[in-house]
Chains A and B, each alone.
Chain A
Amino acid sequence: MALTDYADYKSKQERAQPAPFLSGNPGAGTASFASAWTLAPLSGAVPTTAAALNNTTTGAMLRDTLLNSYTAARWLSKIEFSSAPATNSFVMLVDRLSHQGGLDGTLTAAQTTNLPTTALTRYTSGVGVFAALEIYTAVGGTATTATLSYTNQAGTPGRTSKSFVFGGSGNNQPRTTLIVPLQDGDTGVRSVESVTLAATTGTIGAFGVTLFKPLLILPIMPFAEKQTVYDAFLGGASILNEIQDGCCLNFMGRLPSNAANFITGDISFIEG
């Protein structure tokens, strides 16, 4: 049920139960857009076979039952957090929907190991669902390009992504997450069937496909331990996301390298 007015919002916000979280810094060790999935303390496993993810999966940022306790629509209304990087950076809170691994940075034929990805359990139409290649063990230092064959938001199989850079400096380190530009006209992904590299990167490494839904882009202020406070209605650009049952929250982002960094804070949800 929709919120009726500002008083309703304020009342529900006051009664919201903030959920604390602690996450690794997704930029640790890489200057590229990267994922915090495998980082301590959440320590999500490196995937092998395709799997759908939810809030009970090890690696999810909020694993308590809160995310399954709502009886009506609920929105992510506030988040406050602090992090150590003393420079400009950002994190993106995502709902990690599905992933798989075991792909090889040297093969040039279409790779179908552990593919296709599993059927989506949230955002099942695929509209707005992003695909990315996530590196788990460094691939080679030779830059090449990759393409994906996928099923789009309309259920049309055999779609081919644009080619995008894979491997090489800045695009080969663990946790690097390379977002996939889709074929003309497509607005999302239901599943990925294969991955093709144009040439070897020089090292097998390990990487896989991740499907996710972006929820929030959050700036990190350029001061060490600075707290960032985000309110969707009050200065937050009205990026008010309705959260789906069993969401698997996780951070991606582009932060400076500092393996000792953590991101800590809490999230508030309001229910309609």
Chain B
Amino acid sequence: MAALTDLSDIINRLTGGNSGTPEIVNVYIDNRAAGAAATATVAGRLTSLWQYQKMPGGEGAAPTTSAIPVNDTPGAFFQTDPGGGRDKWLLGVVGHSSQGGTLTIYDRLVHQGGLSGTATGEQTTNLPTTALTRYSGTASVGNFIGIEIYGQIGTTARTITVNYTNQAGTPTRTTKAIDIGATGLREAQRIFICPLQDGDTGVRSIGGVTLSGTTGTAGNFGVFIGHPIISIPMPTAGIATVRDLITGLPSVMQVLTDACLSAYWMPNATTAPQINLQLSMIEA
């Protein structure tokens, strides 16, 4: 592992010098999932692209027991791992979408499924989540909790809270209640990011999930822990956006070994997007 020293070092590694191992990952995300059209998006509601069909890699499966997805788990972007004890660095991203919205790339650290939209007590099926292998321990600062719907739940509006262990290792913390269920908040591929308890800045594990009442349909949903990498605004259908991390904010980002790069989408419209991405990475 070595730090990137300056622009010259980056240029040298980006052209293959000093074991830079440059890699440009091209990703195409199709607006279909599990052999059917993806669920229509809702403006202002997050959509998970985990199960969208992709090149490379295929599509993510709905998880059951808690599992740690990695860089070559279908659903991820399939970048290669760094070799020789080096670290991997993201230098920039270019993206385009057929629909307006904002794409966020994150490292999907752990996920599970099999939760029910009708159970009213705390649900611990397939929980607690497996111990993190990336952004673990005190490095869990910045980790977020997502709830992801895999099979449509019911039409009754409810709220949901998550019992978790925070960045300091303190268990039985409880997220703020957020809405779930009813139209726009119940369909497959919808996700919700949970606001943490006051004072918390990250998450190490999830222990349980509680609905305020039944939504009316069991469906299937789960929780995951992610770590944000970068957001790419694509505000208008058709526009391509360049995020250069050398000359622009937030700066060059580390991509951890085995990182399961995936994405979620904040849509401006109701048509599921098709997205092309390029990510440039080097090792140091």
- Of the stretches A14-22, A47-55, A59-67, A236-244, the one at the interface is A236-244
Report how many residues on chain B are interfacial, defined by Cβ distance under 8 Å.
Answer: 58
A179's partner among B28, B240, B242, B277 (CB-CB below 8 A) is: B28
Q: Mark B84-127, 1 if CB is under 8 A from A, else 0.
A: 00000001111110100000000000000000000000000000
A162 touches B242 (CB 8 A): no
Q: Which of B1-51 contact A (CB under 8 A)?
A: 7-18, 20, 22, 24-26, 28, 30, 32, 35, 37
Whole-angstrom distance between the alpha carbons of A244 and B280 in the complex? 18
A29 on interface, CB distance cutoff 8 Å: no
Nearest CB of A to B279, in Å: 8
A260 on interface, CB distance cutoff 8 Å: no
- Of the stretches B52-60, B128-136, B164-172, B194-202, the one at the interface is B52-60
Residues on A with beta carbons closer than 8 Å to the beta carbon of B237: 88
If A236-B92, A237-B93 touch, whether A164 touches B30 (CB-CB below 8 Å) is yes
A181 on interface, CB distance cutoff 8 Å: yes
Residues on B with beta carbons closer than 8 Å to the beta carbon of A234: 247
Whole-angstrom distance between the alpha carbons of A164 and B274 in the complex? 12
Residues on B with beta carbons closer than 8 Å to the beta carbon of A254: 96, 98, 238
B190 on interface, CB distance cutoff 8 Å: no
Q: Which of A81-118 contact B (CB under 8 A)?
A: 87-90, 92
Residues on A with beta carbons closer than 8 Å to the beta carbon of B241: 219
Residues on B with beta carbons closer than 8 Å to the beta carbon of A179: 28, 30, 55
Whole-angstrom distance between the alpha carbons of A90 and B236 in the complex? 12
Whole-angstrom distance between the alpha carbons of A73 and B32 in the complex? 39
Closest to B22 in A: A240
A3 touches B94 (CB 8 A): no
Q: Mark A1-42, 1 if CB is under 8 A from B, else 0.
A: 011111111000000000000000000000001000000000
B152 on interface, CB distance cutoff 8 Å: no
Residues on A with beta carbons closer than 8 Å to the beta carbon of B11: 3, 5-6, 8-9, 233
B14 touches A185 (CB 8 A): no
Residues on B with beta carbons closer than 8 Å to the beta carbon of A220: 240
Residues on A with beta carbons closer than 8 Å to the beta carbon of B280: 237-240
Whole-angstrom distance between the alpha carbons of A219 and B14 in the complex? 22
B78 on interface, CB distance cutoff 8 Å: yes
Closest to B77 in A: A187
B69 on interface, CB distance cutoff 8 Å: no
B243 on interface, CB distance cutoff 8 Å: yes
Whole-angstrom distance between the alpha carbons of A87 and B100 in the complex? 13
Whole-angstrom distance between the alpha carbons of A82 and B55 in the complex? 29
Whole-angstrom distance between the alpha carbons of A162 and B53 in the complex? 7
Nearest CB of B to A38, in Å: 21
- Top-8 shortest CB links A-B: A237-B92, A2-B17, A184-B58, A5-B8, A181-B53, A90-B240, A219-B240, A238-B91
A residues engaging B (CB < 8 A)?
2-9, 33, 73, 75, 87-90, 92, 128, 130, 162-165, 179-188, 213-214, 216-220, 222, 233-242, 254-256, 272
Given contacts A162-B30, A240-B22, 7 further A-B contacts (CB under 8 A): A92-B276, A162-B53, A162-B59, A181-B28, A217-B240, A238-B92, A241-B24
